Structure 1
Amino acid sequence: MSLTIAIDGPSGSGKSSVSREVARRLGLAYLDTGAMYRAATWWCVRNGMDLDDQPGVAGLVEHIPLVMVTDPQAPTVHVDGVDVADAIRDSAISTAVSAVATNLVVRAELQARQRAVIAGEAVGGFSGGQGVVAEGRDITTVVAPDADVRILLVASEDARLARRARDVHGTDDAASVDATRDQVLRRDADDSTVSQFHVAADGVVTIDSSDLDLEQTVQAVLSVVQRVVGASA
């Protein structure tokens, strides 16, 4: 039986770390859809594209030579044969990605590719047909609204800012939190103009990770999976 788990949430909710670990424990593939938007942004910047030129950006992204490696223990992203997993986390890409992620034509192109990855993992791919954990902003509502398990992972603003500060700066002191505030909150505000990831849609289970560590959040997700899959067995 193939299993598709869709996990959405705002920046700093923990969805990437949690999704990777859930995928690893269940023997599933892992798809980071946010990395696809970052890779598209990197590709546009590399090609000297003005990100405000929406038709130009869309045309370039339509033909992006993008390969997603869906091994949860070593996920990576290749563009035109180049491993860009580290490059797409650069602060310059983080600052620019919303301009690409809010381009509706780009979203349609990458959503189609995301659906193709999910469909591929149902019959083969890294998981050998076992399925995938896909995470992002609109997986539960647009990309895979028929996923077996749909979860919205949320957290308080303070918790999200602290987590992102630790990820980027290695500490969550006041200066580090302030340094990541604009990146986190502005990205969420920009992306919320094209997708809804703050309130769960019908049938989507909300998990609040504000007061949970990684293991506790993983267990909360696995409990939802067990409950939903058990009910459908």
Structure 2
Amino acid sequence: MAAASIAHDLAHAETTDVARPLVVALDGPSGSGKSSVSRQVASRLGLAYLDTGAMYRAATWWCVHQGVDLTDQPAVAALVASMPLEIGVDPSDPTVHVDGTDIAEAIRDSSISTAVSAVATNLEVRAELRRRQRELIDVERTAGFSGGVGVVAEGRDITTVVAPDADVRVLLTASEEARLARRAKDVHGDADASSVEATRDQVVRRDRDDSTVSQFLVAADGVVTVDSSDLDFEQTVQAVLEVVERTGQR
């Protein structure tokens, strides 16, 4: 299997003088499955897992928690710059803490999902969080949770701005219909018409807003597209692992 082959190569590399970390960057529209797929890929390869979307959600939670008007972009940017954020990168237990408070569940609330684009489209916030994302990736290149083996980082801008030098860059996409159904199942436990409609704002509107400041709908040069519209979860994981095996090993 692809995962076993790559994991063996990484383990072998650790004992040689040419060892180098593996950085996998994975982007895509809302509901494409990039978070769950990235976690599984990271777990199978023994890599760290960085959910950059959680960082934007955490910034949104922090601003709301502090009572800042999200339309006041300078105030939001200043608050995010001082945000005491800690991101855990264990794929089996990714954590998010702000000022010592565990907010991993709170940032998935629909109120945050609805508001996050107001923060994510703030260019000063994006610059700050990109800086932090690069720092977290760099740590995993030399030490960190993975011990220097590497990281799977997923989210907006990863393949084009944050880690354009990643060993593997993937755009995970799916049809709008498939993405809406998946998000409806995740949020409401069902993909009936009412559940799908209830998640439309989180998927379609958010992608429309975010696409004004980030490229994630079409693969950039050197980025491999994986279309998961007709794939189940395991098939999608295997498709990404095949890309890693094909392009990520030197």
Q: TM-score interval w.r.t. the shorter chain?
A: over 0.9
**TM superposition shift of 1:216:** 0.3
Q: Which amino acid aligns with 1:19?
A: S
2:117 is aligned with 1:98: yes
Check the 8 A contact 2:23/2:153 in 1, yes or no.
yes
In 1: Cα distance, 2:156 partner to 2:84 partner: 23
Matched residue SS, 1:18: helix
Partner of residue 73 from structure 1, selected from 92, 98, 106: 92
2:138 is aligned with 1:122: no
In 1: Cα distance, 2:221 partner to 2:35 partner: 23
Matched residue SS, 1:67: strand
Matching residue of 1:13: 32
Matching residue of 1:134: 153
In 2: Cα distance, 1:116 partner to 1:53 partner: 27
Check the 8 A contact 2:156/2:216 in 1, yes or no.
yes
Bigger radius of gyration among the two: 2
Deviations 1:140-167 (A, max 9, x none): 0000000000000000000000000000
In 1: Cα distance, 2:75 partner to 2:48 partner: 32
Query: 5 Å matches for 1:112-191?
Result: 112-191=131-210
Deviations 1:36-58 (A, max 9, x none): 00000000000000000000000
In 2: Cα distance, 1:183 partner to 1:20 partner: 21
Q: Which amino acid aligns with 2:76?
A: V
Matching residue of 1:51: 70
Unaligned runs of 5+ in 2: 1-19
Unaligned runs of 5+ in 1: none
**TM superposition shift of 1:229:** 2.7
Deviations 1:161-216 (A, max 9, x none): 00000000000011100100112111000000000101000000000000001100
Check the 8 A contact 2:114/2:201 in 1, yes or no.
no
**TM superposition shift of 1:76:** 1.2
Query: 5 Å matches for 1:188-207?
Result: 188-207=207-226
TM-score by length of 2: 0.92
2:242 is aligned with 1:223: yes
Deviations 1:78-103 (A, max 9, x none): 00000100000011100100000000
Moved over 3 A (4+): none
Q: Which amino acid aligns with 1:34?
A: G
Matching residue of 1:111: 130
2:84 is aligned with 1:86: no
Matched residue SS, 2:180: helix
The sequence identity of aligned pairs, in percent, is 76
- Give the total of aligned pairs: 231
Q: Which amino acid aligns with 1:111?
A: R
TM-score by length of 1: 0.98
Q: Which amino acid aligns with 2:58?
A: A
In 1: Cα distance, 2:165 partner to 2:123 partner: 22
